[in-house]
Structure 1
Amino acid sequence: MKQISLTPLASRNPEPLKVPAHWVGSPPTSFKNPWSSFAKQHGLLDVFKARFGSERNFIAVPETRDELVKVRKPDFGRSLSGWQEGLKATWLGHAGFLVETACSASTTRHEFSADEKTDVRGVRILFDAVFSERTSPVDFFGPKRYTPTPCTLDELPDVDLVVLSHNHYDHLDIATITHVYKKAKAAGKDIHFFAPLGNKQWFIDTGMGITADEVTECDWWDSQRIEIEGIGRVDLTCTPAQHTSGRTPFDASRTLWCSWAVEDLQSQKKLFFAGDTAYKATSADTACPAFKQIGEVFGGVDFAMVPIGLYSPEWLLSNVHCCPEDSLNIHKDIRSKKTVGMHYGTVRGGISGQYEDVREPPRRWQECCAKEGRWQTECYLCDVGETLTAA
């Protein structure tokens, strides 16, 4: 008997179309951002100009950690009061999170000893975790992390679901995928992968034995009910994002990108994981409408993880990455009660690293949130390895 069961639900799409606007072809052979907020796709000339041009303003990473994000050993929420009742998210650095839902009703009324706490749990969902030293196809070149992981892969708890926002190397890490899959199989446990359209074959082609029925591809607004035997149930919905995809110079936008919404059917809490997204290109007149749609469809969310870094230079990257002020707009559009900034403080982007002081994103995020009276009432930062709970 399978430990994980999936039930497709009705699409949550508020504007269903016979051929979705983000498809190129039917069936799609690639994908696009269908909104004017994307403005335009920058070509290689723009990329080279930004990467090697005279406008670069490189600022080295501080040599000590005093000015950088702090790192703590995670306990994945077990030290928190009422840990078994709430929806929890532990930041693993960059855009990686381990989310755990509330424990089932039969366990939330029980007082646990220290030993029992390691065995009783909710559904565990791993989002976009990267444990490799470099976000690159090779281990000797490419963006290198300057903040360590808060734990080793061996110390990562058992995972039920692995959820991918898109296939860029700083979000899809084969070393992490390999480890969590092999660990589950060695223990005789089910594990399931969720990814936007076009990504299933990558999992099958890794050579580690992942089968087609262990991977579910989703289009924007596709929704699944997932039940983990004896542990819990969640509804998982693939939601839109403004970004791109690709792992080589030759496969740009061949696979889809997305954000995700999780509804914990035990605690009734709703979580939003933005993945990697922009809100509005600096040259665009209007913002991406998808975030207000997400807020309306789900009636707001209790907890959100939204990117705040790797946005410089904004003339090039604002159509695919958020500056902190745009991140705050996403927080408001999705009607989040509690939002934590991510996608900063861990690894420098290949282009943004030439422009962006790594201390700037959290500073700007705090300043813009404080200006509106939302800092540490609705909007937060956390340490790598820290666990936050839904509002």
Structure 2
Amino acid sequence: MSTTVTPLPSRRPKSSQDPPAHHVGAPPTSFRNPWSSYSRSTFNKFLNMRFNTPKNFVAVPTDRVGLVEVRKPDFGGENNGLKATWIGHASFLIETTKTEGAQRGIRILLDPVWSERVGPYGVVGPVRFTPPPCPLEDLPEIDAVCISHDHYDHLDSNTLKNLNARHHGNLKFFCGLGVKAVLTGLGVGIKAEQVTELDWWDTVRIDKEGTSSVELVSTPAQHRSGRTPWGFDGTLWCSWVVREPSEEGKRLFFAGDTGYCHVTSNDEPSHHNAPHPPCPAFAEIGDLYGPFDLALLPIGCYQPRSLLSPQHASPDDSIAIHHDVRSKKSIGMHYGTIRGGISMNYEPVTEPAQRFQKAVEAAGLRWGKDVGLCDIGETVVV
């Protein structure tokens, strides 16, 4: 069945500049976070953190007590609605609501990673301590893949190779500016005509014969990019909005990998004592595309805060993002699967979930109703 991709008019905020403030050069040769909520991590900051922040290494529990549960997925079964199945870390399978006359909804993989190790050539980098809920071969037919940025724990070459082969080169890939060259240069058979690059606020519609339609919007995130030391920030990072096009259609926000603010104290994991205001992009996303029926928000790999807060949201930060994007229901992700290379020495793997629940309750939200967690392999339907 043929799939068509149609560009739609952009809904850039009125505050946007021309050229965009996140571009470096015209046309851009690299990208930046254009907000005072971001502070660039330098080698001096790393050294200061390394020698002035006591390590707190806690091994992954061998009995898995306190770790996320893993279940065999049914991908929502016969339930109709907007479905999100957590594969682990930041990987989700999304299926939109099946409309009248359609065989099914559109299926989109977000940042799919099935590999045991995430890093160059599969020989260096963090090793996952929680397995995927199923083999890649057990997935249903996929229509599209969205990539938030090119870091190895979000763009995995072996996974994309196997996915593309299973779909005989018919998959559509969506990514930020500059990531097309990464995808086509992996040597996994992805062709340029399969890939659509988007700048922040760009929108496309996906139509596939026999299924429903969906709109994708590339929206801002506060992060970085780069797969090599000499390629930092040469490609664009983003979050994603998934919109069912009907008036009553459901809306999903996928934050990808993002920070929210810059804090200077390792003792304060949230934005409350930050010397700068939080990132304004999430409130803009909420104003333009909210309210969202479901938001997928990162809650792990955030310690030590003095170094990682500009790039990785803490559980407290993600509660603020939940409010900013005007989400009706939010699920935590980016935890419980892979240890960050730096944060492994400062963040016990059981901490994010515990801190997230405390932050939810402190904010007066209903745990498991307004905000919560799900098992790996579990499908949330809204």
Question: Which TM-score bucket, shorter chain as reference?
Answer: over 0.9
- Aligned-partner Cα distance in 2 for 1:208–1:142: 20
After TM superposition, give the deviation of residue 222 of structure 1 in Å: 0.2
TM-score (norm 2): 0.93
The alpha-carbon distance between structure 1 residues 269 and 54, as it changes in their structure 2 partners (threshold 3 A), is closer
Q: Which segment drifts farther, 293-302 or 369-378?
A: 369-378
| Equivalent in the alignment of 1:148 | 131
SS of alignment partner, residue 85 of structure 2: strand
2:334 aligned with 1:343? yes
Whole-Å separation in 2 of the counterparts to 1:279 and 1:54: 22
| 1:71-100 Cα deviation digits (max 9, x unpaired) | 000010106xxx1x3000000000000000
Following superposition, the deviation at residue 53 of structure 1 comes to 6.5
Tell me which amino acid in the other structure corresponds to 1:352: S
After superposition, the Cα gap between the structure-2 partners of 1:192 and 1:47, relative to the gap in structure 1 and judged at 3 Å, is same
**Structure 2: 5+ residue runs without aligned partners?**
265-274
SS in 1 for 2:17: coil
Asked if residue 277 in structure 1 is aligned to residue 258 in structure 2, the reply is yes
Percent same amino acid at aligned positions? 50
2:269 maps to none
Cα offset, 1:310, TM superposition: 0.4
Structure 2 counterpart of 1:361: 352
Instruction: Tell me what 2:84 maps to.
Output: 89
Question: Does the CA contact (< 8 Å) of 2:157 and 2:188 recur in 1?
Answer: no
Q: Which amino acid aligns with 2:258?
A: T
Describe the shift of the 1:20–1:369 C-alpha distance in structure 2 as closer, same or farther (beyond 3 A). Answer: same
Deviation at 1:158, TM superposition (A): 1.5
Q: Note if contact 2:24-2:30 (Cα within 8 Å) is conserved in structure 1.
A: yes
Paired residues of 1:95 and 1:343 also in contact (CA < 8 A): yes
1:164 and 2:147 matched:
yes
Q: For residues 233-292 of structure 1, what are the alpha-carbon distances to aligned partners after superposition, in whole Å with 9 as ceiling and x for unaligned?
A: 011000000000010111110000000001013660000000000111114420000000
Q: Which aligned pairs between 1:119-158 and structure 2 lie closer than 5 A?
A: 120-158=103-141
> What residue number does 2:304 align with?
313
TM-fit CA distance, 1:50: 4.1
Residues 113-153 of structure 1: CA deviation (Å, up to 9, x unaligned): xxxxxxx4210000011111111113333211110110011
Counterpart CA distance in 1 for 2:334 and 2:163 is 22
Alpha-carbon separation, structure 2, partners of 1:74 and 1:197: 33
1:36 matched to 2:36? The reply is yes
| Residue 10 (structure 1) aligns with | 9
Distance 1:48 1:156 in 2: 44
Cα RMSD for the two superposed structures: 1.5
167, 173, 179: which one aligns with 1:184: 167
Instruction: Give the corresponding residue for 2:270.
Output: none
Normalising by structure 1, we get a TM-score of 0.91
Q: Show CA shifts across 1:365-385 (max 9, x none).
A: 111101223122210100000
Letter aligned with residue 26 of structure 2? S
Tell me how far 1:328 sits from its aligned partner: 0.1
For structure 1, list consecutive stretches of 5 or more residues without a partner in the other structure.
Answer: 108-119
Q: Which residue of 2 aligns with 1:113?
A: none
Relative to 1, partners in 2 of residues 1:304 and 1:54: Cα closer, same or farther, differing over 3 Å?
A: closer
Is 1:259 aligned with 2:239?
A: yes
